[in-house]
């Protein structure tokens, strides 16, 4: 028997089920009334209405200490429905308070390693029941994930997109990345685009953001393009060539590598925070945006170097 099937769904209210289960559990109207925070007369009236809807007595005596056979059957269903309802209410309230929910983040690898750890640590402390899905990818893929609504928040070098709100999170300078024993690392304090000579250049997806005129011919002669940062740095470690990356893109990877500032570099990589308008976001995503924005404003957004 399922109480929410048929015409009963139009008449039976969750308060009736809750009242019935409480009386059956306590075995008396007065104790059930105390547990529900109601008067015994109110509980008795609600129980009477429920029995009228069911069309049968649910208790054998007026003392409500013993259930009828139909009452026993209905009690199991009533308890199940009350538990389901209370769990649903708990989930809804949790979502509204951002205690529960799902947060999908799409970020560049450098952001995932250098910026997000402190943010996620604080967010997880504030909302421990929120499930976080963090995926690192290049900026073009982040934009596609946002557009297809497969990510709630994106962090990367992102263009303006219709229907999205975008704010600048930080920017960092480009520099040369090479092995520490590379000849260019010896006199790096005077390193410029022109002093790169004929060294093998490994291009990457961020190179297109560099508009300095002297870099154009260097990029043009590159015969190797590697979008993935981990693979790119692996090739540089092996001595295949050198590359140009923003400072934070190599944060935590400078074991056998060197990041060399360029004296004539003008280009900077700008990282944006992007999402749909707040009104279209789940509460957890809104709270994450609020937190990272506040951390940027008060200077607690740590950018690992």
Q: According to the model, what pLDDT value does residue 154 have?
A: 97
Mean pLDDT, rounded, of the chain: 88
Q: How far apart are the first and last CA of the chain?
A: 64
| CA proximity to 156, closest of 96, 111, 205 | 111
Asked whether residue 5 carries a pLDDT value surpassing 50, the answer given is no
pTM attached to this predicted model: 0.67
Query: Could you read off the pLDDT of 164-188 as tens digits, one per residue?
Result: 999 999 998 899 999 999 988 887 7
The CA distance from 136 to 139, in Å, is 9
């Amino acid at each position: 028997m399922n109480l929410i099937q048929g015409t009963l769904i139009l008449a039976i209210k969750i308060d009736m089920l809750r009242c019935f289960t409480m009386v059956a559990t306590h075995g008396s109207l007065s104790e059930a009334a105390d547990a529900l925070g109601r008067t015994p007369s109110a509980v008795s009236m609600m129980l009477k209405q429920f029995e009228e809807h069911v069309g049968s007595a649910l208790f054998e005596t007026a003392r409500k200490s013993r259930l009828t056979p139909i009452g026993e059957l209905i009690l199991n269903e009533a308890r199940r429905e009350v538990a389901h309802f209370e769990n649903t209410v708990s989930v809804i309230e949790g979502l509204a308070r951002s205690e529960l929910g799902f947060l999908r983040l799409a970020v560049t690898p450098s952001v995932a390693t250098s910026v997000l750890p402190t943010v996620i640590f604080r967010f997880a402390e504030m909302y421990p029941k929120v499930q976080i899905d963090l995926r690192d990818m290049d900026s073009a893929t982040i934009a596609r994930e946002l557009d297809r609504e497969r990510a709630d928040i994106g962090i990367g070098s992102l263009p303006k997109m219709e229907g999205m709100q975008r704010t600048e999170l930080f920017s960092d300078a480009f520099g040369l990345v090479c092995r520490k024993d590379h000849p260019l690392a010896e006199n790096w304090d005077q390193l410029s685009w022109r002093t790169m000579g004929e060294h093998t250049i490994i291009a990457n997806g961020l190179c297109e953001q560099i508009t300095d005129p002297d870099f154009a011919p260097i990029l043009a002669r590159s015969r190797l393009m590697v979008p993935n940062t981990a693979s790119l740095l692996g090739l540089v470690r092996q001595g295949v060539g050198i590359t140009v990356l923003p400072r934070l893109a190599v944060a935590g990877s400078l074991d056998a590598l060197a990041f060399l500032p360029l004296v004539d570099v003008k280009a900077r990589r700008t990282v944006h925070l992007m999402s749909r308008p707040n009104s279209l976001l789940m509460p957890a995503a809104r709270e994450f945006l609020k937190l990272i924005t506040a951390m940027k404003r008060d200077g607690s957004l740590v950018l690992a170097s």
